[in-house]
Amino acid sequence: MSKGLGVKMSVLLVIAVMLLSACDSSGAKNNAGSANAAGDKGSAGATNAAGDKNAETKAADGGELTYALATSPDSLDPARSGLAVSVRVFRTIYDSLVAQLPDNTIKPWLATEWTISPDGKSYTFKLRKDVKFQDGTPFNAEAVKYSFDRILDPATKAANASALLKPYQSSEIIDDYTIKLNLETPSVAFLGNLSQAMLGIVSPTAAKQSGDQFGKNPVGTGPFSFVKWEDNTDIQVKRNPDYAWAPELVENKGAAHLDTIDFKIIPEEATRIGSVQSGQVKAIETVPPQNVVSLKSDNKLQVLQVNTAGLPYTLFFNQTAAHAPWNELKARQAVQYAVDIDSIVKSLYLGTYQRAWSPLSPNTFGYDPSLENGIKPDLDKANQLLDELGWTKGSDGIREKDGKKLTLHYVDGSPNREKRNDIAAIIQQQLKKVGIDVQVEITKDVATVVYTNWAYDLYGNSQVNSDPAALNSFYHTTAPDARPSLSHLADPALDKLLEQGAIESDPAKRKEIYVKVQHAIIDNAAILPIYVFPYTVAATKDLSGLKFDSLGYPLFNDASLAQK
Amino acid sequence: MLKIIAVRLLSSVGVVAGSSILVFCILYVLPGDVVMNMIDPSSMSPEAIANLRHQLGVDRPFYEQLLHYFNAMLHGDFGHSLVNSEPVLPKIMAHFPATLELTAAASAIAILVGVVLGVLSAIHRNKPIDIAARIIGLFGISMPTFWSGILMILIFSVTLGWLPAMGSDGWKTLVLPALTLGLLGAGFIVRMVRNSMLEVLGEPFITTLRAKGLLERSVMYRHALRNALIPAVTMMGILVGEMLAGTVVIETVFSRQGIGRIISDAIMSKDLPVVQGVVLFTAIVYVAINALVDISYSYIDPRVRRLQH
């Protein structure tokens, strides 16, 4: 008996030894790997195909793609989920009326053409006649009306989708394949918003039948149809064989190459990375920067990155008088000069994130690259500006005026999403050099601290969006009784520009307006733009054709797996 | 015997009720709110947010929410998730088998490894095998399962490629999580069994048995071990509770299905009915297991029965 136990003992000892040697072996592997070409190109463009090297071999049909998501979608009902992770799955199941290309032009999808009324308040769409939903329901004007009216119906509880659909008011069915959408106020962003998956068209039959549970039984017109959803485990979709109406975003206009996609839900970073390294899954999303560097040197893997459009991660000054001296331009400018954003972004994200220069991300319509490298860190200027305002350094190195210390109340949310808490810590160190005492408050309850009490001098936020009109909710002076914006800006000239930008239909003129807007915001030192968030995917080399739209959502129409 | 069972049952009901009230209160006073997790606060009007809050019933006063909750519970209604309006009880029932599977496998590993190592180390006191067992025991207790789980993935999935890193289908995906959780339990059992074994070995009746000329093997395994295991049985009841709690971390690390995952997700999104449901459910399971252990304990050891009469 004791001999048998001895064997078990030695097995355990072997395990113990392996535990200790584990770190060594994984380190060696990373160093040995060769550099990955596909990954480096990734960050440049909005759409980029996975595995450039494989592109020449003809896309093989069939196969199951396992794609690991970082969190679980809450619902697959496009109207009812506001989570980015849900949208990644929506894109396989649902199509939109129009598609937005990486150059920000709007192209047909389920709608073939459209006209906008002269007052900009109604959009008439001609619809494709050859489309049907995955459950056999024909796609027509009725389905479009149903989908949008459903979003407005309070019973649907469509929070994010209804915000996106605004200022939509009603729709009129002109004939089976023509529909007129009426808006409350003109909006140029409306068309771009229609391209977003949260406004994807749902099957009226299925939605009526499933009611509340449509999110667990989704039906759309997309290239893949829903198979099953096992809580916390995976979501499976399979090829929709009838699909023949892909937008210009992808090359393959017909049915997808892949048989199935299995979206695995793997919240733990290390496990997600281990799963793709061991080949258990073919692709994983949201790779943290430190791992991007090591995965790129793994010769079995490729790393794909695409910058998301909209508003980059931006720190907003609260410009109300109660938050003096931060309502003074010189004080904000001093911070602008004292913070070295380059070094923050480089040291925290190891060169895998781009630093932001504008209130807009580079992929967004109207982005002005001339702002890049505009403001360089300059401690002397910062000190001088603060001196001019009468804040003098005390014995502890912190500036004072009229017996008051110069403090900056910096609020950030918890958990430490994308190392945002570390940004706060570094800024605290950097501003100490010019005599500003940064008091960092990390809170789980951002809703109360920031959006109810507005108790911050500096607070950061970002937003993935397809249109620069997203700036309105962050910089436009709001009516006295409405919810204020994060910056509390009250600049009539800027308001006017933002209002014009929302309705200007000539793209060239519209672009000009947004260039002015961006300059106005930066010149006002209203914000500190920090980084542009890239959506990052690591995949095994046999996957090719994975593309991304400009919002950073993956498109699987062209994706295929090399058959062995 | 019946009296013992009755008393146990009654106190069990108290424990279950108490723990769910406690959880309700903790979640109520914690900052954060479910509505803010469901939406993007910068893109919704205050009225729309207030509406949503009203629809979900989270704007009602504390006592109303608590009463409502208890009333529903008494009717066997675990409520619906605030996030996706799924009914809570079927969700728990669907996920419980996976957690049970993991807990059972981990407990089996813990008991097997723990008892074997504990006995060996007591018998071979201060010999290399004892020292090795104690080191393994210490490792098992002190390594956070979060960390050891990731190590397991690094060794057995990434480097060796033997076992899957994640998932919950088939025995292969069960091995690493069960091992990670099992080694934690084994750590406790090794120490427990070793100590009580040493204690028993020092008692006069062992000397008597040896003096009678009984085979050493018989003394050890038939007499000493049986006596040493009595305290270990109670320990195992507690341990099953530990294992159940441990599944929260393990299921997340290994991306397994299970009620541990449900509750961690629900806490993140402040989905009160789901958190409540899982807590109540696990409290019932835990209390039931401990009641069983207690009852069986008094059955194994006549002294306990006499004391409680």
CB contact (8 A) between residue A232 and residue B45: no
List the one residue out of A478, A506, A519, A31 whose CA is nearest residue A294.
A31
Give the Å distances, CA to CA, from B228 to A391, A535, B102, B119, B293: 74, 57, 27, 9, 16
CB A29 within 8 A of CB A245: no
pLDDT at position A46 over 70: no
- Alpha-carbon distance of B212 to B219, in angstroms, equals 10
* Reported confidence tier of residue A38, pLDDT bands at 50, 70, 90: very low
Give mean pLDDT, residues A180-205. 93
Give mean pLDDT, residues B78-93. 83
pLDDT at position A549 over 70: yes
- Alpha-carbon distance of A283 to A548, in angstroms, equals 14
Residue A29: per-residue pLDDT: 35
Angle formed at CA A453 by CA A447 and CA A456, multiple of 5 degrees: 90
Name every residue whose Cβ is closer than 8 Å to that of residue A347 and which is 6 or more positions away in sequence: A426
pLDDT at position A17 over 60: no
Residue B82: per-residue pLDDT: 77
Across the interface, of A19, A72, A160, the residue whose CB is closest to B40 is: A160
Of the listed ranges A131-135, A241-245, A425-429, B121-125, the least confidently predicted one is B121-125
Cα separation of the two ends of chain B = 8
CB contact (8 A) between residue B167 and residue A280: yes
pLDDT at position B179 over 50: yes
The reply to whether A361 and A470 lie within a common domain is: yes
CA distance A271 to chain B (A): 6
> Which has the higher per-residue pLDDT, A119 or A28?
A119
Residue A481: per-residue pLDDT: 59
The reply to whether A469 and A349 lie within a common domain is: yes
Neighbours of A421 (CB within 10 A): 15
Give the Å distances, CA to CA, from A498 to A167, A250, A431, A511, A517: 16, 33, 32, 12, 7
Rg (CA), chain A: 26
Query: Which residues in chain A are contacts of B42 at CB distance < 8 A?
Result: 451, 461, 463, 473-474, 486
Type of residue at B157 = S
Tens of pLDDT, residues B186-214: 998 888 888 888 888 888 888 888 888 88
A463/B contact by beta carbon, under 8 A: yes
Chain A, window 383-422: residues with a beta carbon less than 8 angstroms from a chain B beta carbon: none
Query: Which residues in chain A are contacts of B113 at CB distance < 8 A?
Result: 8, 12
Q: Which residue of A has its CA nearest to B90?
A: A231
* Reported confidence tier of residue A516, pLDDT bands at 50, 70, 90: very high
pTM for the model: 0.79
The reply to whether A358 and A476 lie within a common domain is: yes
Q: Looking at the domain B88-305, which fold is it? A: MetI-like fold (1.10.3720)
- Alpha-carbon distance of B267 to B264, in angstroms, equals 5
Name every residue whose Cβ is closer than 8 Å to that of residue A28 and which is 6 or more positions away in sequence: none
Q: For residue B61, is it left (φ>0), alpha (ψ between -120 and 50) or beta? A: beta
CB contact (8 A) between residue A447 and residue B32: yes
Across the interface, of A74, A281, A445, the residue whose CB is closest to B32 is: A445
Looking at the domain assignment, is residue A210 inside a domain?
yes
pLDDT at position B46 over 60: yes
CB contact (8 A) between residue B39 and residue A82: yes
Looking at the domain assignment, is residue A406 inside a domain?
yes
Neighbours of A495 (CB within 10 A): 16
- The DSSP call for residue B87 is B
Looking at the domain assignment, is residue A41 inside a domain?
no
The reply to whether A75 and A160 lie within a common domain is: yes
Looking at the domain assignment, is residue A11 inside a domain?
no
CA distance A129 to chain B (A): 34
Residue A15: per-residue pLDDT: 47
Pick from B255, B261, B263 the residue to mutate for testing the A interface (most A CBs within 10 Å).
B255
Average confidence score pLDDT of chain B? 82
The reply to whether A146 and A293 lie within a common domain is: yes
pLDDT at position A1 over 70: no
CA distance B30 to chain A (A): 9
A322/B contact by beta carbon, under 8 A: no
Name every residue whose Cβ is closer than 8 Å to that of residue B76 and which is 6 or more positions away in sequence: B89
Pairing status of strand A178-183 against strand A168-175: antiparallel
Across the interface, of B95, B157, B255, the residue whose CB is closest to A278 is: B157
A9/B contact by beta carbon, under 8 A: yes
CB contact (8 A) between residue A163 and residue B253: no
ipTM for this model: 0.74
Q: For residue A192, is it left (φ>0), alpha (ψ between -120 and 50) or beta? A: alpha
Q: Is residue B309 helix, strand or coil?
A: coil
- Alpha-carbon distance of A398 to A325, in angstroms, equals 15
Give the Å distances, CA to CA, from A254 to A50, A101, A213, A243, B265: 19, 19, 30, 5, 38
Q: Which two tokens stand for residue A540?
A: 């095994």
Q: Domain range spanning residue A527?
A: 310-532
**Range with top average pLDDT, A437-441, A491-495, B36-40:** A437-441
Average confidence score pLDDT of chain A? 86
- Alpha-carbon distance of A421 to A436, in angstroms, equals 18
Q: Which two tokens stand for residue A228?
A: 């099953």
For chain B, which residues make up each domain, given as ranges?
A: 1-75, 88-305
* Reported confidence tier of residue B44, pLDDT bands at 50, 70, 90: low
The reply to whether A244 and A164 lie within a common domain is: yes
CB contact (8 A) between residue A280 and residue B253: no
Angle formed at CA B126 by CA B121 and CA B132, multiple of 5 degrees: 55
pLDDT at position A256 over 80: yes
A28/B contact by beta carbon, under 8 A: no
- Alpha-carbon distance of A187 to A203, in angstroms, equals 27
The reply to whether A349 and A289 lie within a common domain is: no
Proportion of chain A above pLDDT 90, given as a percent: 65
Exposed / middle / buried, residue B98 (Cβ in 10 Å: 0-12, 13-18, 19+): buried
pLDDT at position A254 over 80: yes
Residue A246: per-residue pLDDT: 94
CA torsion sign, A147 to A149 to A152 to A156?
negative
What SS3 string covers A425-463? Answer: HHHHHHHHCCCCEEEEEEECCHHHHCCCCCCCCEEEEEE
Give mean pLDDT, residues A37-52. 38
Give the Å distances, CA to CA, from A274 to A277, A287, B80, B189: 5, 11, 35, 31
A481/B contact by beta carbon, under 8 A: no
pLDDT at position B141 over 90: no
Looking at the domain assignment, is residue A141 inside a domain?
yes
Of the listed ranges A219-228, A512-521, B90-99, the least confidently predicted one is B90-99
Give mean pLDDT, residues B36-52. 67
Pairing status of strand A399-401 against strand A392-393: antiparallel
Tens of pLDDT, residues A410-459: 999 877 888 899 999 999 999 999 999 999 999 877 878 888 888 999 99
Residue A163: per-residue pLDDT: 83
Pairing status of strand A301-307 against strand A106-108: unpaired
A3/B contact by beta carbon, under 8 A: no
Residue A564: per-residue pLDDT: 62
Q: Which residue of B has its CA nearest to A18?
A: B155
Chain A, window 101-160: residues with a beta carbon less than 8 angstroms from a chain B beta carbon: 154, 157, 159-160
What CATH number has the domain bearing residue A487? 3.10.105.10
Residue B156: per-residue pLDDT: 92
Q: Is residue A380 helix, strand or coil?
A: helix
CA distance A546 to chain B (A): 23
Of the listed ranges A22-26, A556-560, B128-132, B141-145, the least confidently predicted one is A22-26
Tens of pLDDT, residues A297-316: 889 999 999 999 999 999 99
Pick from B26, B29, B42, B138 the residue to mutate for testing the A interface (most A CBs within 10 Å).
B42
List the one residue out of A25, A59, A36 whose CA is nearest residue A537.
A36
The reply to whether A251 and A356 lie within a common domain is: no
What SS3 string covers A145-170? Answer: HHHHHHHHCHHHCCHHHHHHHCCEEE
- Alpha-carbon distance of B84 to A83, in angstroms, equals 13
Residue B33: per-residue pLDDT: 67
The reply to whether A192 and A209 lie within a common domain is: yes
Looking at the domain assignment, is residue A499 inside a domain?
yes
Type of residue at A87 = V
- The DSSP call for residue A71 is S
Residue A20: per-residue pLDDT: 43
Query: What angle do helix axes B272-300 and B88-123 make, rounded to 10 degrees?
Result: 40
Give mean pLDDT, residues A269-286. 92
Residue A57: per-residue pLDDT: 45
> Which has the higher per-residue pLDDT, B150 or B271?
B150
- Alpha-carbon distance of A399 to A394, in angstroms, equals 6
- The DSSP call for residue A457 is S
Chain A, window 155-194: residues with a beta carbon less than 8 angstroms from a chain B beta carbon: 157, 159-160, 162-163
Residue A10: per-residue pLDDT: 46
CA atoms within 13 A on the CB side of B203: 16
The reply to whether A293 and A439 lie within a common domain is: no
The reply to whether A492 and A346 lie within a common domain is: yes
CB contact (8 A) between residue A274 and residue B154: yes
The reply to whether A243 and A374 lie within a common domain is: no
Cβ pairs bridging A and B (under 8 Å): 158
Q: Which two tokens stand for residue A420?
A: 């945002």
- Alpha-carbon distance of A157 to B35, in angstroms, equals 11
* Reported confidence tier of residue B302, pLDDT bands at 50, 70, 90: low
Query: Which residues in chain A are contacts of B255 at CB distance < 8 A?
Result: 232-233, 264-268, 271
* Reported confidence tier of residue A66, pLDDT bands at 50, 70, 90: very high
Looking at the domain assignment, is residue A274 inside a domain?
yes
* Reported confidence tier of residue A464, pLDDT bands at 50, 70, 90: confident
Q: Look at chain A and report how many structural domains it folds into.
A: 2
Give mean pLDDT, residues B262-280. 83
Query: Which residues in chain B are contacts of A233 at CB distance < 8 A?
Result: 167-168, 255-257
